[in-house]
Chains A and B, each alone.
Chain A
Amino acid sequence: MQGAINFPILTLITFLPALGILIILLIPSGKDKEAIDLSKKTIKWVSLGITFIQLILAAIIYVFYNSAKTGINDINTFQFVEKVNWIHANLPLIGNIDIDYFLGIDGISVPMLLLTTIICFVAILPSFKITKAVKGYFAMYLLLDLGMVGVFCALDFFLFYVFWELMLLPMYFLIGIWGGPRKEYAAIKFFIYTLVGSVLMLLVMIGLFQSVGTFNILDMMDPANFKAGAILSGSATTLRYAAFLALFIGFAIKVPLFPFHTWLPDAHVEAPTPISVILAGVLLKMGAYGMIRIAFPIFPEAFGYFQSLIAWIGMISILYGALCALGQHRVGKRDLKKLIAYSSISHMGLVMLGLSSMRPEGMVGAIFQMFNHGTITAMLFMIVGVIYDRAHTRGLDDFGGLAKKMPVYTGIMAIAFFAAIGLPGLSGFISEVLVFLGAFKTFPVLTAVSVLSIILGAGYMLWALQKIFFGELPNKWKGPWDPTGIEYKTDDINGLELTALIPLAVIIIFLGIYPNPMIDLISGSVNHFIDLMKPFVFIGGL
């Protein structure tokens, strides 16, 4: 524990949702209609309260966080550290197993922690529209929240893995029960795909434990801790390369990178709005986070060996995602959610390209891009949710001329769309430019080709904008959304939706003009990270 904070704040922020789950489960469902309504309402407000407190805690962490201490592989410069022995066993054949409950954060986890708490808080608001099995939904939601926060705080591989798996299960149910028409397919696809990644991770984890004798991630980064002759000892061995690839694929599935991405469009299309928001806003970041926290620093020479491959995959994901978003040739309707899902693949490819550069610009850009993509895409999905709730369709061809009917909504949408295409003054621009500048230093040609995405991005985003907002309003939407006037009193976006969207818009604009708070947070740790990796990687000429 550090500085002014003398209580285990990371444990508190991680396990607060567990308290929420307990409260929710204890709230009686009620018998008559009034009691049921009251119970549902209470559940919703309890969840909102829990996520709000979490957000406050994250803000406290941000305030007391010292960006001069950079973490990465040095336990002394991690902050808010909590380390307690959790499992201690002496087993025959295997020997001592020591698993620590080991939490701590540095400049790479803090932005993710902030992102998670922000997204979990704002995504509660569209969740208020859930009517089916409210108790189960919010319990699952908070469990998911717990898993995500835990992943970003854990510094013990075993603990990391537990949180990682913990968040998988609620996600499966949230898509599978509260999702759209093909929810079962999407949920099982998501589950199995991610599980494949988990299995790969598990294998490597066991191998690393065999070689190091502990699950401590920081210890694994030091080659001196590897036992002589153990399977993953040494440097640049085939087994280490294989282990790196296994971890990489495990995390790449989550990012997702081409060609492991096809679960994403299905999951997004079928998931309910708030879950899409969390999926795009937070879950995708875990893959990239896992790479930075685990895969790259533990196997630096393997990263160096596969560095160009990773850059290639980044470039392919960028262009492939953008072209697929432009293509939208799926059987059936052209779906706005699917378009955004593919754009996510493109934007996460950018993160990969930045990471592969091993330049401060590229890596800071990549982590900043993770944060920005989280907020921007969360906004985009909520915006789609707004219209889907009213029109019960998201088909790109079903709309037109909405700008006239919903001017405020159009303004908010424009901010999100322009942020997604990297308009200056909005946060996406800075991270995109940083990534390109850094990647260009290491991989000039690949990056120059990747920059094509700024044209493709403008292409599909403006096309979608035009399809939905410009032109003539189709006759079927000419009247009010809700003729009874109960659910939607006006044509335009309502207060609840604005409450969820405006904070995100403010963050996007603020960081677009004054990115320093986020960049100061990240850059110290990134420079530390690069120093760690430098002996093993290629950083280009000049």
Chain B
Amino acid sequence: MTKDTLLLSFIVLLIPMASFLINIFFGNKLGRKSGIVGTFILGIDLALAIVAAYNKLFVFSEEPVIQTRIEWFNLGTVNFDIGIGIDNIATIMLVVVTLISFLVHLFSTVYMKGDRRYPTYFAYLGLFTFSMLGIVITNNFLLMYIFWELVGISSYLLIGFWYEKGSAANAGKKAFITNRIGDLGFFIGIMILFFTYNSFMFDDIFSGIASGKMPFNNPTMLTVTGICIFMGAIGKSAQFPLHVWLPDAMEGPTPVSALIHAATMVAAGVYLVTKVFVMFTADALTFIALTGAITAFMSASIALVQRDFKKILAFSTISQLGYMIMSLGVGGYTNGFFHLVTHAWFKAALFLTAGSVIYAMHESIHHKNDHHTDAQDIYNMGGLRKTMPWTYLTFMIATFALSGIPFTSGFLSKDGILAGTLAYANLTGGWHWVIPVLGYLAAGMTAFYMFRLTILAFHGEHKTEIARNTKENKLPILFPLVLLACLSFWFVYSSNPFEASEGWFQEKVVQPVSVVPETSQWKFLLPEMAEGQAHNQGDNPENSDVVQASPENTYLNRFHEESHHFHYLAMGISLFMAALGIMLAFMMYKFKIINAGKLEVRFKFLHSFLYNRWYFDELYQATAIVGTLALSKSLSWFDTYIVDGLVNLSSYIIRFVSRLTGLFDNYVIDGAVNMASTFTGYCGSKIRKLQTGKVQAYIVFMLLGILTMIYFFV
């Protein structure tokens, strides 16, 4: 039953939440057992996810998407529907997320064993897994945004897990706020869509677009909306120019970096673009492609000169995410998602090997009671090949995959992406050629910095006593490494190591047909069918999961065809670039034919430009952060002294006026009253003097009076 599979994936979503609740409320009682409990729960989750994925991919494969919708709440006139749905990419992601989460849980039981807040750590991992799975199985923007934010907060909690360290707390905050900048755009995009189509459901929105209804009745606004939605991906997938948070996020525990900041959360942006791929216009796709290409190139160049083991891997992650985004932008839907999956395994493997190395270095440092050596600086390592053979072996396999060396999964996916960029540039022409150029430069640099890292950290002599005393780790750490390394080989995806399209993956993940009106999308992405038929496809984009090629034409569209033509050329250039990078790395760091130190001095400006990450942090500090703080400080000042000042001023004025009134009352009104009485008193006192009490005087006055009267009247 299809509904059962959907229910199963819903259970897969809920199980990690149980892990969160158990560990947050009973963590203290469980103590050290909480790690095992968490790992066990995730193990069950993984098993169920595999069943769900198998069912969807192979049993119900003719059904493009199994989904459901329910009303969350309604406002009488407006409904808020939500729902979950699984299509092929969602079920593949379910397995990716649960498997890596399970391995990271297992790895962490050893890695975090000394930590004071051990249960809390596993609780957060559970919360993260829950939120990430939510992103995977949603079929609407509302739930997508909700889980998007929840992923953000769990990432915040895990980056800042060691909050006593100021740098960790800062990094968490930086990650959250930078992500929120992307979310701002994402949310505005959602508002535009809800405004236009009165729904959050992908289906409603896509069919709305297909029916020709445009936001603000303007096709350009569809591009704007697409870019707004893509801003969410820029933030979460650490694309230029919001990539600055990811290197700092390495402050979190290393297994967390593997799970969140390499394999899953940062891929959420790519996943989002994949999910809503059909609604991007040609202009929006160009914007996406260019963003991805710039990101891939920029961060690869930064990774060339970094010293910190994890930072190198972080920049490599950004660069690879750029690849995926670029691939989606040029129209290479399948390869973009393919790279997401292959990258998830080998990058998780790389981070976990980094964790293994750092853990061993820490143990060694701890042994020596040394508090100065940086356990993550590759210039303190060297020769780890001998002390940690299993870690070295798995690291090498993953490095090969990342560098795009044949017989690895990375080779298959990267090759497809680069062929796609060539096809794209050839079909569109002009300045679009810059995209494959940036892509290939990044490929060369990737091979270089990965082998630089390998040589410095694992080869040669031990650079420090600490590196000499490192020991290989135990099974819970090694098992995830080995499993992930195995998943980085070609046979997982395709029987032919040079042809991904022969494998199950590319068969299951088929590019959907865009719902965007023909005038706003690339001609070469239109289905290769009789004119007019293309329109009918738009009504139900998910239908196109099933290949519907006409007999004389096996290609989905022109782009697909062109990519095939470029396939071997792309492979050739790609191998050449990788070989060049590896050769340079060996010449500089192994055989010392080229003196790296001298180069550094000679190109000092370039080196510090790269080492300081193109000065993006400084730029943002000097502009956005200082600007916002200055604005807020001046508004605060304005509030205190002007707005409140006016309030106080009005009270002063009233008090002043009332004092004047008081004075007036005291001296003028009351003065007049007093004057009247004083006058009366005065008169009285003067007249009183006449009242002498002497009879003689009275007689004299009386006589005078009589005389006066006689004078007048007679």
Contacts and interface: CB of A to CB of B under 8 A. Distances in A.
A207 interface: no
Contacts of A211: none
Contacts of B74: 519, 523
A106 to B, nearest CB: 14
A521 to B, nearest CB: 11
Interface in A436-484: 436-437, 440-441, 444, 447-448, 451-452, 454-456, 458-459, 462-463, 466, 469-472
Contacts, number: 144
Contact of A441 (B163, B176, B195): B195
Interface residues of B, number: 52
B636 A524 contact: no
Interface string B635-657: 11101100110110001000000
B153 A418 contact: yes
Interface string B87-112: 00000000000000000000000000
Contacts of A323: 628, 631-632, 635-636
A515 B73 contact: yes
B643 to A, nearest CB: 5
Contact of B163 (A320, A454, A471): A471
A451 B195 contact: no
B631 A462 contact: no
B633 interface: yes
Nearest to A512: B146
A259 B640 CA distance: 12
B251 interface: no
Interface size grouping (class) on chain A: 35 or more
A361 B79 CA distance: 10
A323 B636 CA distance: 8
A436 B78 CA distance: 14
A447 B190 CA distance: 13
Interface in A519-540: 519-520, 523-524, 526-527
B632 A526 contact: no
A213 interface: no
Contact of A451 (B146, B153, B188): B188
Interface stretch (B34-42, B178-186, B285-293): B178-186
B633 A329 contact: yes
B145 interface: yes
A424 B77 CA distance: 23
B471 to A, nearest CB: 32
Contact of B75 (A189, A361, A455): A361
A384 B287 CA distance: 47
B191 A440 contact: yes
Contacts of B633: 327, 329
B47 interface: no
A281 interface: no
A437 B197 CA distance: 12
B586 interface: no
Given A463-B173, A472-B164, A330 B146 contact: no
B191 A262 contact: no
B77 A324 contact: no
A459 B150 CA distance: 17
A423 B644 contact: no
Contacts of A524: 76
Contacts of B216: 541-542
B184 A192 contact: no
A395 interface: no
Interface string B144-177: 0111011001001000100110100110110011
Interface string B42-82: 00000000000000000000000000000011111110000
Interface in A241-286: 258-259, 261-263
A403 B164 CA distance: 9
B188 A448 contact: yes
Contacts of A197: none
A425 B146 contact: yes
Given A455-B177, A458-B176, A330 B75 contact: no
Contacts of B73: 515-516, 519-520
Given A424-B150, A462-B177, A404 B636 contact: no
A150 interface: no
Interface string A302-331: 000000000000000000100110111111
A70 to B, nearest CB: 10
A523 B149 CA distance: 26
Contacts of A440: 191-192, 194-195
B346 to A, nearest CB: 32
A326 B78 CA distance: 35
Contact of A361 (B78, B156, B181, B628): B78
Contacts of A330: 636, 640
A364 interface: yes
Given A327-B635, A425-B150, A470-B164, A192 B651 contact: yes
A193 B643 CA distance: 14
B146 A424 contact: yes
A424 B145 contact: yes
Contacts of B164: 401, 404, 470-472
B549 interface: no
Contacts of B636: 323-324, 327-330
A331 B77 contact: no
Interface string A74-96: 00000000000000000000000
A360 B177 contact: no
Given A323-B631, A440-B195, A527 B76 contact: yes
A469 B187 contact: no
Interface string A411-436: 00000001000011100010000101
Contacts of A448: 188, 191
B173 A451 contact: no
Nearest to B116: A404
B176 A423 contact: no
A470 B76 contact: no
B703 interface: no
Contacts of A470: 160, 163-164, 166, 169
A526 to B, nearest CB: 7
Contacts of A527: 75-77
A320 B633 CA distance: 11
Given A326-B632, A327-B633, A451 B187 contact: yes
B173 A466 contact: yes
Nearest to B654: A192
A471 B169 contact: yes
Contact of A455 (B150, B153, B173, B181): B181
Given A327-B634, A423-B153, 6 more contacts: A262-B647, A324-B632, A324-B636, A440-B195, A454-B180, A466-B163
7 contacts: A326-B632, A327-B629, A327-B632, A455-B177, A470-B166, A527-B75, A542-B195
